[in-house]
Amino acid sequence: MSLPHALLTSLLEKPSSGSELTRRFEKSIGYFWQATHQQIYRELGRLEQSGWVESQAEEGARGRKRSYKVLPAGKDELWRWVSEQSDPRPFKDEIMLRLRAEAVVGPSGLIDDLQRRLHMHQQRLAVYKAIEAKDFLGKEPTRERRLKHLILRAGVMVESMYIQFSTEALDILRE
């Protein structure tokens, strides 16, 4: 996935200013594709230079606040990108390598970091379940809503897997 396509997707969902886009991004796409505030603004400039989005100064806004919307060429690019084939990326997580190293070098204090990570996964799972209750449960299951819910459920599965994995790893490390 690329940041330009993530931003095009978000702007097609709702045209917005860069700051609004950053806030919305952090609460949705940002759970599985991270970008800093600076990266988002830099990419918005590139998207505009490419003719994929246009911006207009917001009326009554102080400073340089601009609102961005996707142009037909940007929608065409997003459609082209969605239609491409891609291979799954190999699983890569530093904690796996650190556990492998712990197996070789012996106890190293990895327990504290695993406990911290476990807590983070539990917190993220709670956030995902709250989003699910607010945005999906009891709502009409449109195609768009079902696809977005599927993505959220994938996040729930990943966090649940990490919680189970971390718990088992901690049990082994404590032996």
Q: How high is the pLDDT of residue 63?
A: 65
Which candidate, 115, 128, 90, 98, places its Cα nearest to that of 136?
A: 128
Quote the pTM value: 0.82
Cα angle for residues 162, 167, 170 (degrees, 5° grid): 120
pLDDT score for 61: 61
CATH topology classification for 3-83: Arc Repressor Mutant, subunit A (1.10.10)
Helix axes 72-83, 3-13, angle to 10 degrees: 120
User: Which two tokens mark 120?
Assistant: 């983070």
Mind listing the pLDDT tens digit of every residue in the chain (175 residues)?
Answer: 589 999 999 999 999 998 888 888 888 887 888 888 899 999 999 999 999 999 998 776 666 788 999 999 999 999 999 999 998 888 888 999 999 999 999 888 899 999 999 999 999 999 999 999 999 999 999 999 999 999 999 999 999 999 999 999 999 999 8
For Cα atoms 143, 148, 150, give the angle at the middle one, nearest 5 degrees.
95
Which pLDDT belongs to residue 88? 87
Give pLDDT, residue 146: 96
HEC per residue, the chain: CCHHHHHHHHHHHCCEEHHHHHHHHHCCHHHCCCCCHHHHHHHHHHHHHCCCEEEEECCCCCCCCEEEEECHHHHHHHHHHHHCCCCCCCCCCHHHHHHHHHHHHCCCCHHHHHHHHHHHHHHHHHHHHHHHHHHCCCCCCCHHHHHHHHHHHHHHHHHHHHHHHHHHHHHHHHC
Q: Cβ(68)–Cβ(18) under 8 Å?
A: yes
Domain ranges of the chain: 3-83, 94-174
